[in-house]
Copies of this chain bind each other. A is one copy, B any other.
Amino acid sequence: MSLSPLLQELITSLRVLPGVGPKSAQRMALHLLERDRQGAVNLASALEAAVEHIGECERCRNLSEQPVCGICEDSSRDRHVVCVLESPVDLMAVEQTGGFNGLYFVLKGHLSPIDGVGPDELGLDRLFALVEAGDVTELILATNPTVEGEATAHYIAEQLDESAVNITRIAHGVPVGGELEFVDGGTLAHAFAGRRSLRRGRDD
C-alpha cells in the first residue's frame, strides 16, 4: 500500500503506547489528522515537555518535575508514615483512594537477581537512611502481592530488623497474584485499613 511516509511513521510511532495495536494506531493517526490537529499539536508539546522536565523526586523517587515532588513538599501530610511501592502507577492508584495521607517511597521495581535488580537499583540505601533519620514511625510495605513483591517486602523488613520503626504490610483485599495498579479504589482502601504488622518497632 502506498501510504504517505509521514502518516506511516505516525502510525508506527503510536505503537509505543501500551495496548495500541496496528489497527488502533491507524485509527488514532487518521482521527488526529482528520478531526483534531490541534489535539495532535498539544499532545506533541506535552510529550516533549514531560520527557524534558520530569525526572524523579530526590526524596521518594516518584516522578517529579521539581527536585522534590509535590507530595513530599506538602506540609499537611503525615511525615511519620511512609508507604513503599513498586512503581509510580501504584502511587497514583493509592493516591486516588484518598485514604492515605503519609509519604511514599517508590522502588521502581522489585528485587530480581536474575534481571540484575538488587538493593542498589531499588534505592534501598536512601529508604533506610530515611528511616534511620528517625522521623518515620511506620513503614507500610505495599509492594505487589506477587512472589517478587513479597520477597522484596521481606528483605526490607529484615534489613530494618534493628530499627525502631513499625513495619506493616498491606494484606486484606488485594487479590493474591494481582497487581495494585488494577485493583479498584475501595479494595485498595480496604487493604490499607487491614494492614498487619510484620514486626513491632523495638524500644531500645
Known contacts A30-B92, A34-B108, A89-B26; is-contact A49 B6 (Cβ 8 Å): yes
Nearest-neighbour CB distance to chain B for A178, whole angstroms, equals 16
- Total identical chains: 2
Contact present for A50 and B6 (CB under 8 Å): yes
Nearest-neighbour CB distance to chain B for A113, whole angstroms, equals 21
Contact present for B63 and A10 (CB under 8 Å): no
Contact present for A30 and B69 (CB under 8 Å): no
Count contacts on A: residues with CB < 8 A to the other chain: 60
Known contacts A1-B96, A16-B40; is-contact A10 B46 (Cβ 8 Å): yes
Nearest-neighbour CB distance to chain B for A25, whole angstroms, equals 10
A residues neighboring B (CB under 8 Å): 1-7, 9-10, 12-14, 16-19, 24, 26-34, 36-37, 39-51, 53-54, 63-66, 69-71, 74, 87-89, 92, 95-96, 98, 108, 181
Lowest 9 CB-CB distances: which A-B pairs, in order? Answer: A16-B39, A2-B70, A13-B46, A44-B47, A1-B95, A44-B44, A13-B43, A10-B50, A10-B46
With contacts A6-B54, A29-B50, A43-B44 known, what are 14 further pairs, Cβ within 8 A?
A: A1-B92, A1-B98, A2-B74, A3-B95, A5-B65, A10-B46, A13-B43, A13-B45, A14-B17, A30-B89, A33-B50, A41-B47, A44-B45, A47-B47
